[in-house]
Structure 1
Amino acid sequence: MDKIKSFFTNFIDVIFFVTVVMFKILVYGKHMSSFKSSFIPALASVFVLVSIACIFKTRGRARFLYICNCIISIFIVSDLIYYKYFKDIISVSVLISGFQLNAVKSSVANLLDFKDFLYLFDIVFIIPFINRYLTSQNRKLSTKVRVSMFLVFILVGIFIDFKSFYALSKEQPRLLTTMYNKVYIAKKLGTVNYHCLDIYNCVFANINRLTPVSKDKFQAIEYFIDKSKSSHENLNGIGQGKNLIMIQVEALQGFVINSSVNGKEITPNLNRWISRSEYFDNFYYQVAAGGTSDAEFMTNNSLYPASAGAAYLLYSGNEYNAMPKNFKNKGYYTAALHGFRESFWNRNVMYRKFGFDNFYGEKSYKQNESIGLGLSDKSFLTQSVEKLKNMKSPYYAFLITLTSHFPYDDVNKYGDFDVGDYKGSLIGNYMKAIHYTDEQLGMFLDELDKNGTLKNSIVVLYGDHYAIPKDKQDQLFNFLKTGSKSDLEWEKLQKVPMFIHFPDESVKGVNHVYGGQMDIYPTVCNLFKLKEEDMLGKDLFNPESERVTFRNGSFIDKDCYYSSQDDIYYDVNTGNKISKSDKLEKEEDYILNQLGYSDYILRHNLIKKLNLDKNK
């Protein structure tokens, strides 16, 4: 009994810290959403902090734990206040950018709740008494005991944390580097681990930026960008003065177009509109770790995604010559429309950076029907029709759909589309989801046609990324009844639909040029006679090359596919491997330079410097 009493007396600060901090984390989790699954990793993160505290002598240990408690409590209170407005968790990128905080500043008084500050109660009233008690006892622990405690806590904490991080990385391979769903990370790993990960990612990204760009490198980048400009001849200026309506469709993959299941078309409405438009049937997604946000980033900037992580998070402080800003300089009104929460993928920061006049996010839509992640495409597109009606022409409207988002498991709400033998499979659920979205897109485009909007508008519609992951490739190959399952055949299936609809269907047909999301902005510049500055893509109507470059260094065109992972070249038409030639080596060098220069532009915020040079 005396030993227990002695232990409690000697380590009252440690016991109190673990108990109170874990209690705060669990109560905080209930306010955010159900965080029960984060208990074990949250405890592990607390153990790591305790292990560090045990290195110090009694007074130093108590002070260290007090500081940790203060920091954790402040983060919790900040998260809660931020979550009430944005339904997200605060991050370093948000603090650096400042835009989101400015947006919420006027509402802070309404967001504050006295109960939130109860998280600070122990810091002010209880811990000082504990620290005073420990000081008065003046008990000293030997170095051997302190080191032993450090080792026990650190090993247990790191072991549990490693398992938790590894499990999450397997479940969502891109999540830990991109941080695109901060709430989910905190739910899975606990708030302490989330904030440590956020700080680590931010510091790592900034270290990469510290290496200065030499004058020669900067001039090489300027020269490369200048050489990348397209020579605009075909359809130059055809869209001047007209509206641009751009629609990015979630997980719209090319194989569903003009395909049927159980005797019924999967995308009858898109098939119909494709026949009325210029359809690019060799169009590839080029996203990397940033997924949907990468597609948005490329489409609006014609710069490649970040080499690691997501540009929307890592480079939110950069300057951009983005499409919305370009249109604004021509007197256009610009707006982004998406029915999900504004802070997801850091959109409310990046859209301001791009130059959008307005962002109609979750708060701008009636949340009257939810499917999958959030507001249904039916409700989103129906409400968006009304928003477009109220926009002053000419305008650039950028819409992003949501319902067809992986894992396509809200099957009871997709309607009664019969997928036959594929019922219950991932590809079957996807076909139901994309059939639903197709129906809503048909309604949307038909309504714009009916109310006269399309008479003065160009519509660009494309898919953002793959729908079927590679670990489910057998389902896709089986559906398509593809004999070969080679890397080349898989790469060919990574096409996404892209079509451009012109007023009065003045331009239409199937265009076989090889292109990707990097090429949309230069193509728009040609159609609307916008300035083509600091872009690495090509104009699809005036291509000097048909190369499509992927973030990992692979590329494809009408003749050849290069797989960078295997360092193998394939003949696109025969599927046979081909030997490396001097021409192909030069192509590979060009690709690596292009990706490398794009990385330099992002890491060192070179658009700002490029703009300064132009204005001299």
Structure 2
Amino acid sequence: MPKFLKNAVGKVNTTLGFFTLTVVLFWLKTYIAYKTEFTLGVKGAVQEFLLILNPFPTAIVLLGIALYFRGRLKYWLLMTLDAIQTTWLFANILYYREFSDFMSAGVIKSSGAASNNLGTSLGQIIHWTDFLVYADVLLLILLLAFKVIRIDPRPFKVRYAATLTMIGVALFAVDLGMSEHDRSDLLTRTFDNNYIVKYLGLNTYAGYSFYQTEKESATRAQASSSDMKSVLAYLKKNQADENIKYFGKAKGKNVFVIHLESFQQFMIDYKSDGKEVTPTLNKFYHDKHTLSFDNFYHQVAQGKTSDAEMMMENSLFGLPTGSAMTQYGTSNTFQAAPAILAQKGYTTAAFHGDVASFWNRDNAYKSWGYNYFFYSAYYKEKANYTIGYGLKDKIFFKDSVKYIEQLPQPFYAKLITLTNHYPYTLDKENQTIAKTKTGDSTVDGYVQTARYLDQSFAEFVSYLKKAGLYKNSMLVLYGDHYGISNNHRSAIAQLLGKKSVNNADLAQFQKVPFMIHADGIEGGVNHTYGGEIDALPTIFDLLGIKNKGYVQFGTDLLSKDHNQTVAFRNGDFVSPQYTKVGSTVYDTKTSQKLENMTAKQKETIKQMQNHVTTQLSLSDRVIQGDLLRFYTPKGFKKVNVADYSYKVNKTLESLKDVQAQKKTSLLHQRKGKTSEGLYKTDAPELTDDSSSESSSSSSAE
């Protein structure tokens, strides 16, 4: 035997050597799985380094438990711990292949529908090569059994074992610190399980998942049906009747909900260097058939976009910390707009040019009752087709048409744009307006991506008109949250044409657009104060759906009974008269701080604060206690998540079947002739592709 091999075997025959070999082999197979089995979206050197690093800390700590034991026991315990971690890896490889997500503690604890019936499809998704993850475990056991590697019977000193544990903990601290620096609020906001695995590793994700599930289970277990009494009493006291003038004006129409990413109200009619930034949206805003609300506020917290979706489709607030969609979207009972409308004859679908698992959409949308969810897997992907968080808006809208035309009418379709997203970068060939010159690099690109969003919407509207969908649809546009945070005070002041801004100005800066357009609606700019929590009751009013009986914490913006005190998630509020930020109250119209308030003013502020606090706390109680499981509105059928699948092949088959049954889709009306040719876009990426294809065809000829 060569000398170097002899030395290597000699080192492996020690406890430390065998432990090191086990850790390295576990790291290697985990890293290979990261690269080959999961789609983690690693970008840049830092994320690649963290992906390499993250299997080590927990492997060292967990496998190191065996080192505190003596003799043969420590070896067999080491193998057992290795096998357990490997089984977790193996299970996630299978689960991810089917659901594009990682197994959660909730899935493990549940069965049947909650576990997505994984067992029934194992035979179809499992590959013989999957068992190779156990190869190192089996090899090490055989090497020990046949004494190729000899067990070191000497006690491993506790201080050495403790040192290795501390090394594992230190490596985890480095991993967590670098991860938080690269992606702030990683654990508190919980964007996506892929992010946690990418940054912190599969074992850390397991621990985090179990912690979250146990915390949620404890809160859920303490809740009872009696908790709904205070919720229903509040809703009865604060309900607002529908507006007779508008009730049912859009009944039977298709509904398009266009999610304007990070788009703020101040951009409407805004000019940069004398040029309108968003001419199409401006025209739409002022259309005689568009109801536009100029005092409409986002009400999100850490959940950002997911909070906005929660409010828009459930009239429930997001949580004070984290994201309700990611924490409760899988397990909770919901009575969301897609389910309500589906039970009233609508086909419901969501469109998004990112991965299905972001914000836990693939699970939350099932709980909300979406018939279909079209995400990145449904769209053609090329390197220059995406930017930031997903598909560029022009390409996204155009490529959504082939699915929209297949939806039986009437339908409810939500399209989530992405390009107007922090840090507001756009490739040069798509830039059609100069940056602003505030000197803030984050802010100055905002007008460029906003202009691109405006152009994308213009192309989509043009298609809807040509296809005959525009007249038969109600279009709802809303900005989900701020695009420019309050940390950019100097730049905000410049954009608003002010020398400086105070907290009251910043509260007003939280306005986002809310527009509802349909032929037959008497439009105009409505000055009513409201927020995202009020969107769903307003939409239902126009569709002729009575809100009474549903648990919705907002009220119809068109109702004379609507309460105009708008709650922010942190307990602050704004109203036509007063704006409260922290302990300071301002006059809303003048933005001046109110000094020496009268007793009457103080009492009014107190009542407003009580209303806001009650509204927020009761909404939290509904979500955290899963209280809707105790209450079902009359005529509503509880959603069964097992009825939904967003796998591409199943969705496409379902679309064919449902079109044949209902025969109301645009494609059916066109006798099977696609409407894709009606869509015109100047997206340079698609123009380049068309030129390349034409060149290829010419060459072939």
Q: Indicate the residue corresponding to 1:530 in structure 2.
A: 545
- Residue 23 of structure 1: aligned partner: 28
The structure 2 residue matched to 1:172, chosen from 183, 186, 191, is: 183
Residue 488 of structure 1: aligned partner = 504
Match of 1:351 among 333, 341, 365: 365
**Cα offsets for 1:454-476 (capped at 9, x unmatched):** 22211110011121233334333
State the alpha-carbon separation in 2 of the partners of residues 103 and 406 from structure 1: 38
Number of aligned residues:
609
How far apart are 1:17 and its partner, in Å? 2.1
Q: Could you list the per-position Cα deviations for residues 162-184 of structure 1 after superposition, in whole angstroms to 9, with x for gaps in the alignment?
A: 34324433543333133222223
Q: Which residue of 2 aligns with 1:73?
A: 86
Question: 1:93: Cα distance to partner?
Answer: 4.7
Q: Which residue of 1 aligns with 2:629?
A: 608
CA distance in 1, matches of 2:72, 2:237: 65
Q: State the shift of 1:22 in Å.
A: 1.6
Aligned residue in 2 for 1:182 = 193
Q: Which of the residues 398, 403, 412 maps onto 1:396?
A: 412
Counterpart Cα distance in 2 of 1:99 and 1:271? 46
Residues 225-374 of structure 1 aligned to structure 2 (within 5 Å): 225-233=235-243, 234-276=245-287, 277-315=290-328, 316-367=330-381, 369-374=385-390
Q: CA deviation at 1:103?
A: 8.3
8 Å contact from structure 1 (residues 93, 313) kept in 2: no
- Residue matched to 2:578: 560
The question of whether the paired residues in 2 share the 8 Å contact of 1:285 and 1:517 is answered with: yes
Amino acid paired to 1:237: G
Contact 1:246–1:461 under 8 Å retained in 2: yes
SS at match of 1:481: coil
CA shift for structure 1 position 7: 8.4
Between the aligned partners of 1:162 and 1:554, the Cα distance in structure 2 is 35
Name the CA distance, whole Å, in 2 between partners of 1:443 and 1:308: 37
- 2:321 maps to amino acid: A
Cα distance in 1 between the residues matched to 2:635 and 2:460: 41
**Alpha-carbon offset, residue 395 of structure 1:** 1.7
Matches within 5 A, 1:44-123: 44-84=57-97, 87-93=100-106, 96=110, 102=116, 111-123=125-137
Residues of 2 paired with 1:135 and 1:582: CA distance? Answer: 80
1:519-598 to 2 correspondences below 5 Å: 519-532=534-547, 533-542=550-559, 543-563=561-581, 566-578=582-594, 579=597, 581-598=602-619
Deviations 1:480-527 (A, max 9, x none): 3322322221121111111111215x3221111111111111111211
Give CA-to-partner distance per residue, 1:243-297, whole Å, 9 cap, x none: 2111112111222221122332211111111111211111111122222121111
Q: Aligned partners of 2:145, 2:587: CA distance in 1, in Å? A: 73
Distance 1:385 1:487, change over 3 A: same
8 Å contact from structure 1 (residues 300, 323) kept in 2: yes
How many angstroms apart in 2 are the aligned matches of 1:195 and 1:491? 39
Q: In structure 2, how many angstroms separate the alpha carbons of the residues matched to 1:520 and 1:281? A: 14
Instruction: Report the 3-state secondary structure (helix = DSSP H, G, I; strand = E; otherwise coil) of the residue aligned with 2:499.
Output: coil
Q: Does 1:223 align with 2:233?
A: yes
Counterpart-to-counterpart distance in 2, 1:97 and 1:426: 47
Taking only the aligned residue pairs, the percentage that are identical comes to 29
Distance change (3 Å), C-alpha of 1:140 and 1:378: same
CA spacing shift, 1:151–1:585, aligned 2, 3 Å: farther
In the alignment, is the contact (CA less than 8 A) between 1:88 and 1:344 conserved in 2? no
In 1, Cα distance between equivalents of 2:240 and 2:515: 20
Q: Does 1:425 align with 2:451?
A: no
Matched, 1:415 2:420: no
Equivalent-residue separation in structure 2 for 1:413 and 1:87 (angstroms): 33
- Quote the Cα distance in structure 1 between the aligned partners of 2:281 and 2:32: 47
Distance 1:138 1:411, change over 3 A: closer
Please identify, of 127-136 and 236-245, the stretch whose mean Cα deviation from structure 2 is larger: 127-136
Secondary structure of the corresponding residue to residue 454 of structure 1: coil
Q: Is the 8 A contact 1:409 1:429 kept in 2?
A: yes
CA distance in 1, matches of 2:611, 2:436: 47
SS at match of 2:631: helix
1:29 Cα offset (Å):
2.9
Greater alpha carbon shift after TM alignment, 193-202 vs 262-271: 193-202
Match of 2:327, as an amino acid?
L
User: 2:674 maps to what in 1?
Assistant: none
Q: Deviations over 1:141-188 (max 9, x none)?
A: 27xx21x13432233322332343244335433331332222232222
Write out per-residue CA displacement over residues 318-354 of structure 1, whole angstroms, 9 at most, x where no aligned residue. 2111111221232222222222222222212222221
Residue 335 of structure 2 aligns with an amino acid whose one-letter code is N
User: Residue 463 of structure 2 corresponds to which residue in structure 1?
Assistant: 447
Q: What do the CA deviations read for 1:84-106 (whole angstroms, capped 9, x no partner)?
A: 45554443355558769748878
Q: What TM-score, normalized by structure 1, do the two folds share?
A: 0.90
Partner Cα distance (1:445, 1:115) in 2 = 49
After TM superposition, the structure 1 = structure 2 runs for residues 457-476 of structure 1, keeping only pairs within 5 Å, are 457-476=473-492
1:192–1:420: structure 2 CA closer, same or farther, 3 Å change rule? same
Q: The residue matched to 2:14 in structure 1 has which SS?
A: helix
2:421 maps to 1:405: yes
Tell me, in whole angstroms, the C-alpha distance in 2 between the residues paired with 1:149 and 1:385: 63
Letter aligned with residue 195 of structure 1: A
User: 1-side partners of 2:360 and 2:542: how far apart?
Assistant: 30
> TM-score normalised to the size of structure 2?
0.80
CA gap of 1:569–1:158, structure 2 versus 1, over 3 A, is: farther
Q: Secondary structure at the match of 1:485?
A: coil
Of 509, 514, 532, the residue aligned with 1:517 is: 532
Compare 175-184 and 294-303 and name the one that shifted more: 175-184
